[in-house]
Amino acid sequence: MAKVVCNFLSYSLNRAVDITVVLPSVTCPEALGMGDAPATHVLPAKFPVVYLLHGFANNHAQWTGYTNVELYAEERRIAIVNISAENKAYAKVGADDFKRFVSEELPEFVTNYFPISTKPEETYIAGLSMGGYGALMHGLTHPERYRAIGAFSAGLSINPAVFASDPMGQPEKPDPEYDVHALAKAVADTGAAFPAIYSACGMNDFLFEPNRAFASELGELGADVTWKEVPGFGHEWRFWDQQVEQFLDWIPRDDAYAQMGKRSC
């Protein structure tokens, strides 16, 4: 696999930002002539992509540092994009417009600079905790842009206006623009198609009950929801490592790389 750590000037945020882009590449078995086809860097198509969002107090490096997502992406021939969104919940907070950055500038940048697909049917968004909230918020705001959403131990009650300063308190109700319950209802009310939704939470997690209730709520609104409740796990990286692999196996795919099947690394 190829892992590119990139720093560029964001016009949405008016400062330099860091991202990590994971791209499948020639594997060791393929280089040794053990693959199904000759090793080459000539690609048959652009890669499908998962925009994979981090949690509170993390940055672009945590997903690749704490999980095996690079291996999972290589095996499944899919690109992964990680960003640093600070503690701003992937929203517009003051002068920091992370909502515009995630929804507009980030896909514009990566699909122009890397061999990553622009097709909605090959685009996915997922995340853990704060990132699970961000994936739901963006995926339900723009359901036409994503084929599927993954939410692992999602922080569903986040109010971006106060989250950075009071992550455990948050007494104020968020604006409907950032309320995942209101956003889900809006998708249903407009008759738009929901992306497929994968929601998972450890049964020892303090966020378990809200996540289970929201999965049921989404189903009642007409969304195609896969809900996973897993005993023995709390709010922890071992769970998220397990779930990101399961999510990558679960996502609906019919791109050229999916047709090739899983490969050895």
pLDDT tens digits for range 42-93: 788 999 999 999 999 999 999 999 999 999 999 999 999 999 999 999 999 9
Query: For residue 136, what pLDDT is reported?
Result: 98
For residues 73 and 3, the answer to whether their CB atoms sit within 8 Å is no
pLDDT digits over 86-113, tens only?
999 999 999 999 999 999 999 999 999 9
Query: For residue 171, what pLDDT is reported?
Result: 58
Full-model pTM: 0.94
Structural domain count of the chain: 1
Domain CATH code at residue 40: 3.40.50.1820
- Domain-embedded: residue 176: yes
- Domain-embedded: residue 43: yes
- Domain-embedded: residue 36: yes
- Domain-embedded: residue 265: no
Query: For residue 170, what pLDDT is reported?
Result: 62
- Domain-embedded: residue 172: yes
Query: For residue 40, what pLDDT is reported?
Result: 77
- Domain-embedded: residue 131: yes
- Domain-embedded: residue 212: yes
Residues of the chain where predicted confidence (pLDDT) is lower than 70: 35-38, 169-172
Domain that holds residue 65: 2-260
- Domain-embedded: residue 38: yes
